Structure 1
Amino acid sequence: MFTPKKQVPFRISTRLIWISSISLGILTSIPKIVDHHFDPAEGIADFAVTSGFALLIWYYNIYTIPAYANRTGRKNVISPQLFKGLGVGLVLMFLLSSLQYYILSHLNFGPKMLMYEVRGILINLTFYMFIHILYQTYMNQQVVRELERSMAANLEAQYELLKQQVNPHFLFNSLNTLKYMVESQDSHSAEFILKLAAFYRSTLDSLKLNILPLRAELAIMDAYIYLQKARFEDGLLITQELQADLNETFIPPFTLQLLIENCIKHNIISLEKPLHISIYREGDYLVVKNNLQERKIPEASTGLGIKNINQRYLMLSDKEIVILKTDDTFTIKLPILHEYSNH
């Protein structure tokens, strides 16, 4: 079964952060070094202020840009976060410059402050643009990875679904039932053939889809139930209590049919011990519930049917199905999928 990979976190190399910050400090100190009246203390202070500011701005933007984008969903370069970052940078540079003036009180604070603030704005803007571009590239890569993951999971789901739909046991049982009906001149033989053909035609058509309206899924389910009722008669009792307003909600193809097939596969069905399957709504869930009367010798199963359904729901809505098992009942709750997330 396909297992989704965890998303790779957004990171920037620590080496890049430190090397770039130290390099900026060295570059801004060069004019001081080549000056005829070079003061080592002033050069070191200039280096320390610029490097320290660059480091702090690096980490501030690395933390705030992704957080802002994830919270608001905005991708624009010019955003409230940009102006907020510039404001933080101005305050930060003022504090660092004030610390430098406190240590080297002989400096002319006014012109120095203006120079440092301009330098801080330029460094801040450069880092902001660089990190913003890197983060957008990272997000685009995550989208591509998610699409590839979804395509792989969808292909696996379709393959597993196809294997279950062309189950030779189901086809063999259906043909045996049809043979008995024809031999006994059952008047429903023609209808049985039409339902069987319609069911397999729906299988091939729906394999191309990720979701389909619930009304279409109910039509597939009804055809499948008709075929199974011809075999089990009153040993299989199915009640469906879904309101009409759910018809335009969505569901992965063949979900209900697969769940009913699982019920039939794993439980005893007879006229003395009929299998009751109920389909109804409970809050934001579609519920499929059956009385539990498990076979002593279970039918061979891959165990992938319910996992397959759960994987498809995770792909479509990030919601998992709910499985409840007691001594007497087995219940599966399917999240109701609407066309719009704010429905």
Structure 2
Amino acid sequence: MIWFSAVFMGVLASIPKILQLHITMGELMIDASIAFLFTLFTWYFNLYQLPKYSGEPIDDHFFNRRLALSLLVGIGLMIVLVLLHQLLVPGYPLNTMLMMYEFRGVLINLTIYVFLFLLYQSFHTQLISIELERTKADHVSAKFDLLKQQVNPHFLFNSLNTLKSMVDMQDAHASEFILKLSDFYRFTLENRVNDLIALDEELQILDAYLFLLKARFEDGIAIKIDLPLNQSGIAIPPFTLQLLAENCIKHNVISLEMPLQIKLYAEGDFIIMENNIQPKLKPEPSTGMGLENINQRYLHLNHSPIIVEKGADIFKVKLPNVPWKY
């Protein structure tokens, strides 16, 4: 582009003399050469004044030291080129020719400077925008990593109490409870660094988690999972389903008389977790961090938000399918 524009300016600068008809080919070539060399030099001079090459931060103001330096160097270069022209083609009035070329040179210099200034400002704005998006993504990722690594201490405390009770009563399922508790924490350690896992693996985490809950609440929780058998192409952020199930338990009454009913099923392009609403008389304080972090994670990975629907009796969270290509 630089060389093409330099040739173009050389031809364009020669048009007035071509129209004079009586100009010689030698004079025409010299005139075009001055415009070509000046344009080429000005391009590279202004280009190498940019921060990538000069190492100095760019000034956001249009009128700055870089513009003044470019104009001064351009004026000096044009004087040199005109003097060479005078030596090669004597007879032209030096004062008139110098003023004409200097005016032409200032216009060329300003045109190139404005183009590079606007181009670099646009480039710099895009870099800032990309950096902001990257920072936002890193922030979301860090928050979600914190969420993944945060094992609810109450859950661990309650699970150990349940295990103690099962051992004291010599419950036949105590060994299986220990295995499921071990599986759950193994899954936690293995997948906490992953952004996505296969839906099958997520269901294994959920299965271990729900088994521990069933051992504690018995028939106070009713779980129904109805998902397609072929789930090979579906991915999900790890611990999403476990966090949703934990959210159901946190905000609802669980008892044998009023069992909490949790359903997990597919509908169109969504995986849906649904539960009946049985609000506690003294609800636990909610920060909303769980659902918001899951939502931000889906926005980051799939540019699709989760959908939360709350009716009079039913609470639903719809998770958009994430293709297993990330």
TM category, shorter = 0.5 to 0.7
- Distance change >3 Å, CA 289–CA 31, structure 1 → 2: same
Unmatched tracts of structure 2, length 5 or more: 1-57, 84-92
Does residue 23 of structure 2 align to residue 38 of structure 1?
A: no
Aligned 1:117-266 pairs, distance under 5 A = 131=120, 135=123, 150-163=137-150, 165=151, 167-266=152-251
Shift of 1:229: 1.2
The partner residue of 1:50 within 96, 108, 116 is 108
Shift of 1:145: 6.5
Which residue number in structure 2 is paired with residue 304 of structure 1?
289
State the alpha-carbon separation in 2 of the partners of residues 208 and 54 from structure 1: 50
Shift of 1:191: 0.8
Is contact 2:140–2:293 with CA below 8 Å preserved after alignment? no
Which residue number in structure 2 is paired with residue 19 of structure 1?
67
User: Which amino acid letter does the alignment assign opposite residue 19 of structure 1?
Assistant: L
State the alpha-carbon separation in 1 of the partners of residues 110 and 280 from structure 2: 72
Instruction: Kindly provide the CA deviation profile for residues 146-194 of structure 1, in whole angstroms up to 9, marking residues without a partner as x.
Output: 556544543432223322x2x2321222222223323333221211111
Unmatched tracts of structure 1, length 5 or more: 1-10, 63-130
Higher CA-based Rg: 2
Shift of 1:32: 9.1
Identity of aligned residues (%): 40
* TM-score calculated relative to the size of structure 2: 0.66
User: Which amino acid letter does the alignment assign opposite residue 158 of structure 1?
Assistant: D
State the alpha-carbon separation in 1 of the partners of residues 155 and 262 from structure 2: 19
Shift of 1:13: 3.0
Say which is worse superposed, 36-45 or 198-207, in terms of deviation. Answer: 36-45
Shift of 1:41: 7.3
Which residue number in structure 1 is paired with residue 9 of structure 2?
none
Which residue number in structure 2 is paired with residue 315 of structure 1?
300
- Distance change >3 Å, CA 26–CA 312, structure 1 → 2: same
Shift of 1:261: 0.5
* TM-score calculated relative to the size of structure 1: 0.63
Shift of 1:222: 0.5
Aligned 1:287-302 pairs, distance under 5 A = 287-302=272-287
Shift of 1:236: 1.1
- Distance change >3 Å, CA 304–CA 190, structure 1 → 2: same
User: Which amino acid letter does the alignment assign opposite residue 309 of structure 1?
Assistant: I
State the alpha-carbon separation in 1 of the partners of residues 113 and 303 from structure 2: 38
Q: How many residues align?
A: 258
State the alpha-carbon separation in 1 of the partners of residues 252 and 79 from structure 2: 83
State the alpha-carbon separation in 1 of the partners of residues 153 and 127 from structure 2: 44
CA-atom RMSD, angstroms? 3.5
Is contact 1:25–1:50 with CA below 8 Å preserved after alignment? no
- Distance change >3 Å, CA 296–CA 27, structure 1 → 2: farther
Say which is worse superposed, 29-38 or 327-336, in terms of deviation. Answer: 29-38
